[in-house]
Amino acid sequence: MIRTARVCLALVVFAAPAAAACGKEGSPPVKGPAADRLPEYRVAQGFRLPDSPTWKRAEKRGYFVVGAKEDQPYLGQRDPATGTYSGFDIEIAKMMSASLGLAPGTVHFRTIASANRETALQNGQIDYYVGTYTINAMRKKLVGFAGPYYMAGQSLLVRRNEHGINGPQDLDGKRVCSAAGSTPYQRIQREYPKAVLVAYDTYSVCVDNLLTYQVDAVTTDDAILIGYAAKAPRELEVVGRPFSKEPYGIGVPRGDNALRFALDDALEAREKNGDWKKAYEATLGLSGVPAPTPPAIDRYPAS
């Protein structure tokens, strides 16, 4: 009974149409990003950043190459028919390009999995990375981070018929899936060693495994899990409270401090002029969660 109440509540939180579907047959429709409500990002005219090797390369090329995720609803999703990327992270990537002087429509996105982000930035495969990328001390030894631009928290996704898992304390002996190289994977390994960890490249494969009873739970950031739950609302639900802080940053090549500081400035400006909020509302905000106040930018010293 309590469980049912919670499921309905979760759906109400997720989207208004879901409320009507609660207790009835048929899944609520899952809305994609509201393209007509996306802001147009003003392109900085005559912008130059000669101290940034990454910017100089991109400017010569005529566009930025940005790493992203392609299977995370509302955050970073690629339409297989058109190849178009959409979501909150994608909007952040586009507004950054505009602030750095290159039209947002020119950005070339490249899908990079969690475990490959540092290498992609180190070997110049991408100019910057926007994809639910938690800033932490270990990663800062390998790459730079502008931001944070959003605060997420680790949570759990389970099948609705699974009644034994309500938080990470219930994971002993359970099969828990996460993405290789991710901070949620590392936290379970470190703090809940009795959980049976299963790793794949992407969370969408974890979700497939959850639906087919290969694993008992999927763990990663709440922002990501809410999107998957919305795709299969009759089968899946997010349970418990977030049990970590995951500040999302824009990954840049380590040592390109000029680029990092320019992105910090750009994020601050886009938060101030309302573009951040508009982008949120047209993407992640479709989950029904009102726009939070973005976290303070951490402009750490040049490294």
- Report the nearest approach of ligand GLU to the CB of residue 264 (Å): 19
Give min distance, CB of 210 to ligand GLU, in A: 16
- Looking at the Cβ atoms of 27 and 136, the one nearer to ligand GLU is 136
Task: Please identify, among the stretches 131-139, 165-173, 250-258, 292-300, the one whose residues bind ligand GLU according to the rule CB under 6 A.
Answer: 131-139
176-195 residues in contact with ligand GLU (CB under 6 A) are 179, 182-184
**d(Cα 23, Cα 46) in Å, to the nearest integer?**
56
Q: Which is nearer to ligand GLU, 131 or 294 (CB)?
A: 131
Tell me how far, at minimum, the Cβ of 75 lies from ligand GLU, in Å. 9
Among candidates 202, 88, 107, which has minimal Cα distance to 147?
88
Who's near 298: CB < 8 A, 6+ residues apart? 135, 145, 147, 148, 247
Q: What are phi and psi of 176, to 5 degrees?
A: -120, 125
User: CA 288, 237, 83, 132: dihedral to nearest 10 degrees?
Assistant: 80
Residue closer to ligand GLU, measured from CB, 97 or 178: 178
Reduce the DSSP state of residue 177 to 3 states and report it: strand
How many residues contact ligand GLU, by CB under 6 A? Answer: 12
Q: For residue 22, which of 46, 41, 34, 6 has the smallest C-alpha distance?
A: 6
- Residue 77 or 220 having the CB closest to ligand GLU: 220
Helix (H) or strand (E) holding 110: strand 108-111
Stretch that binds ligand GLU, among 10-18, 127-135, 156-164, 205-213 (CB under 6 A): 127-135
Report the alpha-carbon distance of residue 35 to residue 42 in Å, rounded. Answer: 17
Q: Record the tokens describing residue 240, joined without a space.
A: 């418990």
* Nearest distance from C-beta of residue 227 to ligand GLU, angstroms: 12
CA 280 – CA 289 distance, rounded (Å): 10
Least Å distance, CB 221 to ligand GLU, is: 5
Tabulate helix, strand, coil % of the chain (nearest 5).
40, 20, 40
132-140, 228-236, 251-259, 294-302 -> range binding ligand GLU (CB under 6 A): 132-140
Binders of ligand GLU among residues 195 to 224 (CB under 6 A) are: 220-221
* 246 belongs to the binding site for ligand GLU (CB under 6 A): yes
Q: Does 132 bind ligand GLU (CB under 6 A)?
A: yes
| Minimum distance from residue 223 beta carbon to ligand GLU (Å) | 9
Query: Interacting stretch for ligand GLU, rule CB under 6 A, among 33-41, 87-95, 125-133, 279-287?
Result: 125-133
Beta bridge partners of 238: 157
Give exposure, 16-34, as e/b (b: 16+ Cβ within 10 Å): eebeebbeeeeebebeebe
Binding characters for ligand GLU, 61-100, by CB under 6 A (x = yes): ----------------------------------------
Query: Is residue 134 involved in binding ligand GLU (CB under 6 A)?
Result: yes
Residues that bind ligand GLU (CB under 6 A): 114, 131-134, 179, 182-184, 220-221, 246
